[in-house]
Amino acid sequence: MKQVLFFLSILFVSTFSLAQKVEVRDTINVAAFQNFDVSPFVLGNILRIDYSIDLLDANLQKIRECKSFYQKPKREDFAKATAGGRGTTFILFIKESIELTGTFYLRVTVKATGETGGLNKEFYYLVNVNYPTIASALNIRPDYFYGEQGTFSFATVEFGDINAYSFKIEDGGRTIISGSGPIVNLDTVLNNTEFVGKQLTITGMYNGKDFTFKNSKNELLKSVWQITINRPNLTEFAGWKTVTKDDKGEEFYISIDNPKDREFLFTYIGNTPTGFVVVKPKFRNYRVTCDFEGLINGLTTYEAGSFGYLVLQINDDVYSGIPVGQSQDVKITLTFSTQFENNVKKEFRATIIR
């Protein structure tokens, strides 16, 4: 057992020492997913050259080949550039992107023949990869009301190519909106009744992939967000008394000779962190019942400002049957549907005086 531990210790020390002894030509500090350029690799008076480029982990173990690079002169032009046995200047340009964070190496292995001799050597570039940092505070909340407006940016300090950003908004795996750039406008989904009550997923991407980033508190977050779109609360305004469970039945006098006492105003209101949102209801399937038979013929509706109105149509013959100076207790029930709710039921009562 001691021999095994001794062997593993020697292996670790050897690997660590190897990583420390390589000749590093340059150190590059980047963010995960960030495209970066390696300083040009230059050799002079070259007649022939063969090379490979590999990405290595911190222990100099190969992860993959690097294939995003180009050279001057181009491969097809190299023979022409060295015709007559005269060497040329060789320049290698390397472009890379690493999705993981940590310490990595780029290894350039070169076998070349020049005017003054040969070269067979490995060159190393140290790459430190960290998480990108969000450029500004994320102005996005988990809950919104229908009718709000909302825009946020997921741009980072390190990801400089604005055209590499993109996003998508999904409803249960179905993409409903997609776009380019790091700015997401939520107005379309926040003003579509189809998504009320649903949780939508927003994914921000760079080079087609979501990513992990640091916020101002140095917390690590994913570029994926869920938002729920809620309907505002239905609020009513009326001259009648709203019937509730704890209603004590006190007298509540009105005169329906007053047109305002025939109107019931409704609107949807939602309180937001910066104010409130108001949405006009769209009535359908509206009707009224009354415990004083024949008093009310039905309802009409109209809209004004942020309100929807339901208006009682009074049967004047029945109303005039109430003696002048007398009163009549009346209870009515309004039922209706809106763009958000079906079969809404509201009860009101009043003592009508004449």
- pLDDT tens track for 1-40: 434 333 333 333 333 444 457 889 999 999 999 999 999 9
| Tokens describing residue 34 | 């960030």
Do 91 and 153 fall within a single domain? no
Do the domain assignments include residue 3?
no
Domain C-terminal end among 174, 200, 230: 230
| pLDDT tens-digit series, residues 122-169 | 999 999 999 999 999 999 999 999 999 999 999 999 999 999 999 999
Do 320 and 338 fall within a single domain? yes
Q: Report the CATH number that the domain containing residue 221 is assigned in CATH.
A: 2.60.40
Do 204 and 257 fall within a single domain? no
Do the domain assignments include residue 9?
no
pLDDT at 20: 53
Residue span of the structural domain in which 317 resides: 233-353
Domain C-terminal end among 106, 130, 154: 130
Do 246 and 321 fall within a single domain? yes
| pLDDT class of 86 with cuts at 50, 70, 90 | confident
| Tokens describing residue 211 | 């990513």
Do the domain assignments include residue 137?
no
pLDDT at 3: 40
Domain C-terminal end among 130, 158, 183: 130
The pLDDT of 216-236, averaged and rounded, is 96
Torsion sign, CA atoms 242, 243, 247, 250:
positive
Radius of gyration of the chain (CA): 37
Question: Distance between CA atoms of 75 and 66, rounded to whole angstroms?
Answer: 17
| pLDDT tens-digit series, residues 58-84 | 999 999 999 999 999 998 998 899 988
Number of folded domains in the chain? 3
CB neighbours of 174 closer than 8 A, spacing ≥ 6?
none
Q: What is the DSSP string of 297-339?
A: EEEEEEEETTEEEEEEEE-HHHHTTSPTT-EEEEEEEEEEE-S
Do the domain assignments include residue 12?
no
The pLDDT of 108-118, averaged and rounded, is 91
Do 222 and 314 fall within a single domain? no
Q: Give which of 55, 67, 48 is closest to 98, Cα–Cα.
A: 55
Do the domain assignments include residue 245?
yes
CA distances from 29 to 17, 54, 77, 117, 280 (A): 22, 18, 34, 35, 54
Do 300 and 335 fall within a single domain? yes
